[in-house]
Amino acid sequence: MDLFSHALLPYLLGNFFKRNKQEITAFVIGGIALDFDIFLLWIQYLYPTFLLITHRGITHSLFFGFFTVLMILYLATRDRVKDRVRRFVSFEPTITRRTIAFAYAGVIIHLFLDYITTRGVPIFFPFDVTKYSAEVFFYTDIYLTILSLIIIIFLYKKPMQRKATTKFLVIFLVIFAALGTVRIIEKTSAEDFFKDQNKKVYPTTSIFDWYVVANNSDKINIYEYTGYNRTSSYNITVPRLNITTGGENLDVALHAAGEMPQVKMFKWRAYTVAINASFSDGAWSLEYYDPVQRAMAHGSPAFFRRAAAGFGSVKVRVEGDRVIVQ
């Protein structure tokens, strides 16, 4: 979910339950704190690791979420930070047992909003790296983003009484529930259309368009389903392992490449993974890619398709005992 919704919902709820300014501030900080993980992304590039140092990774869990929000809440109480933020918004951060509790409540709301979107969050990390997702909303729902931004602009330009913020809360929750209901109905329709429990259904930016993926032992089938007219007009099939040029010790090369943290992270983030393999000059060239992500970009301009292809893959060269991530 987007940053605007993550900040707005705790703010409206805090006003609805008549919390004081310190508690509402902590509530909102908790709602946005986990997304400060974007400032950690450089670590993954410089020191590749499988500690989920990525967006919606290590901070997006019940365990590390607590320490993340505690750190952000502490930084927010520093005079230099408070002075700068107060130039733009009413801001009163404090650290007490109650404000820490409200900040963690904001974390819970953040995790819930991200859980209902595609790809989800590793809620129980570090005890379990599994990402949990209801796969109802797209990664960022454009309708909720626009709605949240409009409400925030109104609140910023014209601060309102609690009664007015309650109306905004009702508007947000009604639209949120309506969109969620329609999406659940459309997702169920997609599942019924294919009538195969082995298929997984993923949302797109459109309420009516869904991608359905069937993972078989040797191939991956991808369908685009349109709920508006109950049809599936686009589908592709890709081999799970496509060997363009044969060679020896492919299993050894795949095992060695699979141990690389970059490959582990790619598999963790991807909808599903296929591999292109070729052998030349005594080395295996392996490309791990996400065919679902490429399918989602099929109707986009060529520039975006090329960007998606580069972003949605990782290439590895295995030569004997040497493994090089390219």
pLDDT in tens, 109-154: 999 999 999 989 999 999 999 999 999 999 999 999 999 999 999 8
Whole-number pLDDT of residue 136 = 97
Quick check: is 89 in a domain? yes
| pLDDT class of 307 with cuts at 50, 70, 90 | low
| pLDDT class of 233 with cuts at 50, 70, 90 | confident
Closest C-alpha to 274, from 201, 198, 215, 187: 215
* Cis status of the peptide bond prior to 301, with omega within 30 of 0: no
15 and 128 share a domain?
yes
Domain end (from 211, 239, 267): 239
Summarised one tens digit per residue, pLDDT across range 159-205 is 666 678 899 999 999 999 999 999 999 999 999 998 876 789 999 99
Average pLDDT, the chain: 91
Query: How far apart (Å, rounded) are the C-alpha atoms in residues 167 and 7?
Result: 17
293 and 215 share a domain?
no
Q: Which residue has the tokens 């590895």?
A: 316
Whole-number pLDDT of residue 4 = 95
Domain residue limits at 155 = 145-239
Rg (CA), the chain: 23
Q: Is the pLDDT assigned to residue 212 strictly greater than 80?
A: yes
Domain count along the chain: 3
Summarised one tens digit per residue, pLDDT across range 72-92 is 999 999 999 988 888 888 888
Q: Which residue has the tokens 């890619």?
A: 289
Query: How far apart (Å, rounded) are the C-alpha atoms in residues 2 and 142?
Result: 9
Handedness of CA 151, 28, 35, 126 (dihedral sign): negative
| pLDDT class of 45 with cuts at 50, 70, 90 | confident
Query: How far apart (Å, rounded) are the C-alpha atoms in residues 279 and 241?
Result: 13
Whole-number pLDDT of residue 221 = 93
13 and 116 share a domain?
yes
20 and 128 share a domain?
yes
Burial class (CB in 10 A: 0-12, 13-18, 19+), 290: buried
Domain end (from 76, 111, 134): 134
Whole-number pLDDT of residue 305 = 55
Tokens of 268: 């963790």
Side chain identity at residue 227, one-letter code: G
Q: Is the pLDDT assigned to residue 302 strictly greater than 70?
A: no
- Among the residues of the chain, which ranges form H helices? 3-16, 21-33, 41-46, 62-76, 79-85, 97-115, 142-157, 162-194, 250-258, 261-269, 291-296, 302-311
Percent above pLDDT 90 for the chain: 73
Is residue 221 within 8 A of residue 234, CB to CB? The reply is no
Quick check: is 273 in a domain? yes
14 and 130 share a domain?
yes
Closest C-alpha to 277, from 317, 319, 223, 320: 317
43 and 113 share a domain?
yes
